[in-house]
Chain A
Amino acid sequence: MRPDERKGVVAARRDQFPVGMRVLAVDDDPVCLKVLETLLLRCQYHVSTTNQAAIALKMLRENRDMFDLVISDVHMPDMDGFKLLELVGLEMDLPVIMLSVNGETKTVMKGITHGACDYLLKPVRIEELRNIWQHVVRRKFSTRDRANLDIYEECNKPSNADSDHAHGHVTCGSPDQSGRPSKKRKEYYSEEEDEGEEDNTQETDDPSAPKKPRVVWSVELHRKFVAAVNQLGIDKAVPKRILELMNVEKLTRENVASHLQKYRLYLKRLSAVASQQVSIVAALGGRDPFLHMGAFEGLQGYQAFTSSTSLSSFTPHGLINSPRNNPAAFGTQRVSASKSIQTVTGGHALNHSICDANKYHLSSPGNQQGNLGQGMATSLGQTQMQPKWIQEETDDLSTIFSGNGLANSGMSATLQGVTSSPLLPQELVECTQVKVGSQPSVLTPSVSSGHLEGTVGVSSSLLDPRVSQQTTIPLSEFSASGLPIHGLFNNSCATKLGATSSASTPVHPSDDLLVARDTKAGASSFGSTMLLPPDTEQKYLNFGGGNSFKHKFDERTADSLFDLKFVWSSGLSSQSASNIGAHHSISQRWNNSSSNNSNIGARMIGQPSSSASTVAPHAKSDFLISGDMLVPKNASDLSVPKLQSELSSSSCSFDGLLNSIIKVEKDDVSFSDDLGCSDFYSLGACI
């Protein structure tokens, strides 16, 4: 079934998404840049660095799809960090995170007003970097799915198949119906949104070929819009006056008019739900869903995510993110603000408070506190409460997604309620994603997979090949069993990272190593590969050559072996410069090598032992020698000698290696079984 396939694929992809995310780091300080790069690599992102903003811009302009996220220093000699931030935000619409040793409130404020997704203080801690991927997700969801969701909710107003819903909304649950809504969506598009609609690439026919320029209702723009509306008064706000107040060029009255219409609908829905919200929320316990925003564990986290994201999208990212990163700056006020944000459909008043928050005037703490409880309660995964809660809400989206079970419907309802507002692009997108994912995912142990599915489902119906590629690439790396599925990968870098992480070693291949490689090999080869390292004789190379897993060895082996190298290195952390030099040079050569066959793996394995025998001081020359020895044996082997020398050069500790191997063993038990006795006997025979 397509949904199931998609679910599996999405799940796999989703599981891996933060891994392999492509980050561009810009900082004129080489020390900071180096530390940042290492930290990011440790988080298993793919990192590119530059110390000049001009080069960064050039790289970004060359290929928009090359990066998912930009991290930039504030103080740079050639260009102000804020300027770069604006340019990147305008031109590429990428999330940008500011970085500075200066944590003054006004500077942070400046960063946020310029559109930064987040503001980190130096020295950067790795915990903070682990969560930065959410900015990418949030932005992707908001820009891609907002328009679709708007259309969905508007075109799916009639009866809802789901009996839980008080409103009769058509349940467009099955993804198969995506064609229909999309068709309707197109009609709606032509009818309601003539020019200047959101810049979304819908997935179906003629998605991204608008004849008129599209307006992206970014967070900033929306913020300005809301500010203008509030200033004029919600009843008195007319598009013309709003347009004047917003004072944004390239925005037409029609854009504002359609946006205003959606906003009004959203507000109406919110106020309708407010009363039910309060009662339900009060009954539920309290847990800060916001903290679990990034965690897709279980329904609770899931729903928390949706509810939190739904509101979070409504408020500037900076507000939401800063609590985590700048506690000093805003303290609890922010936290409460973000929490209050989480009361998704907290009510009209709440929304207004949130709207006000958009102006960075964090609403009265009292208001927030009150909402806090509501929000937390809402976000809890109480499936029983969910349907009821959802019934109250306007739920256009619910029609789209049919709940398979109570939980599913609960989830869907949550999402629907959350995403009911067309004016909350991100939340819509996110909720939709979550919702779609949640339907099948409820039955699966891992919510993340469900989430992934949702993402895929939505994206399939919606869109952006670029985005889906981005998400799929890292996700496709791992199958449910944890073995990387190289075949799904087009992005070699992601593959590499996936392979690395599959080894479950805290290794981070340097950027050099992220060479494009075909990744067709299964993970099974890794397990079998590990058998070889103990063998010191080169005869085992033959083993590798004759191995039926030859194909599988491929990238996987290379990756795993590299992991081996890193693992070994990590144990003793040799700091000798020569080692480092050897490491890098080897990495370079490794990059150049294009061959991936089992021989490489086998040889690599054989290499370490033989090369390891060389005495350390002469290690470097020995590496080359031993490497050369092996070179003639295999034509396609550039990597092997390099790897081997790499292995020998790096201080070897088997602790990490052991752990990785054990882990791999666990993952690859099935494959290990496949090895069978025959392989081992051949192993013995080779001795």
Chain B
Amino acid sequence: MAAAALREQLNALLSSMFSQGLVDEQFQQLQMLQDEGGTPGFVAEVVTLFCDDAERIIAEIATLLEQPIVNFDKVDAYVHQLKGSSASVGAQKVKFTCMQFRQLCQEKSRDGCLMALAVVRNDFYDLRNKFQTMLQVVPYLFFLVFDLQIITTYKVMIDNVCVSCNLKITTLVFLLLKFITRYIMARSYAGSF
């Protein structure tokens, strides 16, 4: 089924990201937050925020390093900020690169910083590409299509159930709806892909 294939793809992507050390358990926590907490799109939002913010910081650092006299304290502040962002989102590799960058800032070496900046940029772009791929795949996977037709056919059954047992109705009905949902999902994905 197309849905399963997509899911596999996504999982493969994520596990490769983990194994390469691009993301760490914080990212897993974010995913968990989304899955268990009922905040759809949370990971997408955070990742997008991170990408934009990191882009901005990297640009700022580049500008600072181009100055004739480099203000290393400012650079350090920016790197610190980037480190914080990447830590919050779980971007492990970028975080480590930032740590090294900070050390070079302490040494106040422009060349060293430029080199470190290049490394950070590479790592960040690499991560960003993976994130974007992930974000594109996921929406298709998790979109639910609810078919009213299906529901109406089951309506009679539901009504009877409702009437017969007061207390258990919601449980039964929702079990039913769950089944229906899954069926529809499978059907729609098979149809659309």
Chain A residues proximal to chain B, CB less than 8 Å: 28-32, 34-36, 38-39, 41-42, 73, 75, 77, 100-102, 122-126, 505-508, 527, 530-531, 533-537, 566-577, 579-580, 583, 609-616, 648, 650-658, 661-662, 664-665, 669, 672-673, 675-677, 680-681, 683-684, 687
List, in ascending order, chain B residues with CB within 8 A of A653's CB. 144, 178, 181
Q: A34-B49, A123-B88 are in contact. List 13 more A-B contacts (CB 8 A).
A: A34-B45, A102-B80, A123-B90, A533-B177, A534-B169, A536-B152, A567-B38, A573-B35, A612-B148, A652-B146, A653-B178, A669-B167, A676-B166
Asked if B147 is an interface residue, CB under 8 A from chain A, the answer is: yes
List, in ascending order, chain B residues with CB within 8 A of A537's CB. 155
Q: Which residue of B lies closest to A528 (CB)?
A: B170
**Distance of A571 Cα from B181 Cα, bound (Å):** 11
Asked if B174 is an interface residue, CB under 8 A from chain A, the answer is: yes
Q: Which residue of B lies closest to A510 (CB)?
A: B39
Q: Are B37 and A570 in contact (CB under 8 A)?
A: yes
Q: Are B170 and A530 in contact (CB under 8 A)?
A: yes
List, in ascending order, chain B residues with CB within 8 A of A609's CB. 146, 148, 151
Interface residues of B in 129-174 (CB under 8 A from A): 135, 138-139, 142-149, 151-152, 155, 158-159, 162-163, 166-167, 169-171, 173-174
The minimal Cβ–Cβ distance linking A75 to chain B, given in whole angstroms, is 6
With beta carbons under 8 angstroms apart, the residue of A30, A657, A661 that contacts B49 is: A30
The minimal Cβ–Cβ distance linking B30 to chain A, given in whole angstroms, is 7
Instruction: Mark each residue of chain B from 103 to 137: 1 if its CB lies under 8 Å from any CB of chain A, else 0.
Output: 00000000000000000000000000000000100
A574-B40 contact in complex given A101-B80, A681-B163, C-beta closer than 8 Å: yes
* Most chain B beta-carbon neighbours within 10 Å: one of A28, A575, A673: A575
Asked if B83 is an interface residue, CB under 8 A from chain A, the answer is: yes
List, in ascending order, chain A residues with CB within 8 A of B35's CB. 570, 573
Q: Are A577 and B155 in contact (CB under 8 A)?
A: no
Asked if B41 is an interface residue, CB under 8 A from chain A, the answer is: yes
The minimal Cβ–Cβ distance linking B20 to chain A, given in whole angstroms, is 19
Q: Are A38 and B39 in contact (CB under 8 A)?
A: yes
Cross-chain pairs A/B with CB under 8 angstroms, 11 sampled = A29-B84, A31-B85, A75-B81, A101-B84, A122-B84, A536-B152, A580-B44, A616-B144, A658-B178, A661-B170, A675-B166
A122-B87 contact in complex given A580-B44, A610-B148, C-beta closer than 8 Å: yes
Asked if B4 is an interface residue, CB under 8 A from chain A, the answer is: no
With beta carbons under 8 angstroms apart, the residue of B40, B147, B169 that contacts A569 is: B40
Q: Helix, strand, loop or mixed for chain A's interface?
A: helix
List, in ascending order, chain B residues with CB within 8 A of A684's CB. 159, 162-163
Asked if B50 is an interface residue, CB under 8 A from chain A, the answer is: yes
**Distance of A611 Cα from B84 Cα, bound (Å):** 41
List, in ascending order, chain B residues with CB within 8 A of A73's CB. 84
Asked if B11 is an interface residue, CB under 8 A from chain A, the answer is: no
With beta carbons under 8 angstroms apart, the residue of B42, B50, B138, B166 that contacts A31 is: B50
Q: Are B44 and A575 in contact (CB under 8 A)?
A: yes
Q: Are A575 and B142 in contact (CB under 8 A)?
A: yes
Q: Are A35 and B89 in contact (CB under 8 A)?
A: yes
**Distance of A243 Cα from B159 Cα, bound (Å):** 79
The minimal Cβ–Cβ distance linking A70 to chain B, given in whole angstroms, is 18
List, in ascending order, chain B residues with CB within 8 A of A125's CB. 29
Q: Are B167 and A39 in contact (CB under 8 A)?
A: no
**Distance of A29 Cα from B38 Cα, bound (Å):** 24
With beta carbons under 8 angstroms apart, the residue of B143, B170, B181 that contacts A534 is: B170
The minimal Cβ–Cβ distance linking A262 to chain B, given in whole angstroms, is 44
**Distance of A34 Cα from B50 Cα, bound (Å):** 10
List, in ascending order, chain A residues with CB within 8 A of B177's CB. 533-534, 654
Q: Which residue of B lies closest to A124 (CB)?
A: B88
Instruction: Mark each residue of chain B from 41 to 56: 1 if its CB lies under 8 Å from any CB of chain A, else 0.
Output: 1111110011001000
Q: Are A579 and B40 in contact (CB under 8 A)?
A: yes
Asked if B175 is an interface residue, CB under 8 A from chain A, the answer is: yes
Q: Are B151 and A651 in contact (CB under 8 A)?
A: no
A574-B41 contact in complex given A531-B170, A534-B162, C-beta closer than 8 Å: yes
A680-B38 contact in complex given A35-B30, A35-B88, A613-B147, C-beta closer than 8 Å: no
A651-B40 contact in complex given A534-B176, A575-B138, A687-B159, C-beta closer than 8 Å: yes
Asked if B77 is an interface residue, CB under 8 A from chain A, the answer is: yes
* Most chain A beta-carbon neighbours within 10 Å: one of B38, B170, B175, B177: B38
Q: Are A31 and B49 in contact (CB under 8 A)?
A: yes
List, in ascending order, chain B residues with CB within 8 A of A672's CB. 166-167
Asked if B97 is an interface residue, CB under 8 A from chain A, the answer is: no
List, in ascending order, chain B residues with CB within 8 A of A658's CB. 171, 174-175, 178
The minimal Cβ–Cβ distance linking A501 to chain B, given in whole angstroms, is 12
Q: Are B37 and A28 in contact (CB under 8 A)?
A: no
Q: Are A575 and B43 in contact (CB under 8 A)?
A: yes
The minimal Cβ–Cβ distance linking B163 to chain A, given in whole angstroms, is 5
Q: Are B38 and A656 in contact (CB under 8 A)?
A: yes
Asked if B2 is an interface residue, CB under 8 A from chain A, the answer is: no
List, in ascending order, chain B residues with CB within 8 A of A683's CB. 159, 162-163
With beta carbons under 8 angstroms apart, the residue of B146, B155, B166, B169 that contacts A613 is: B146
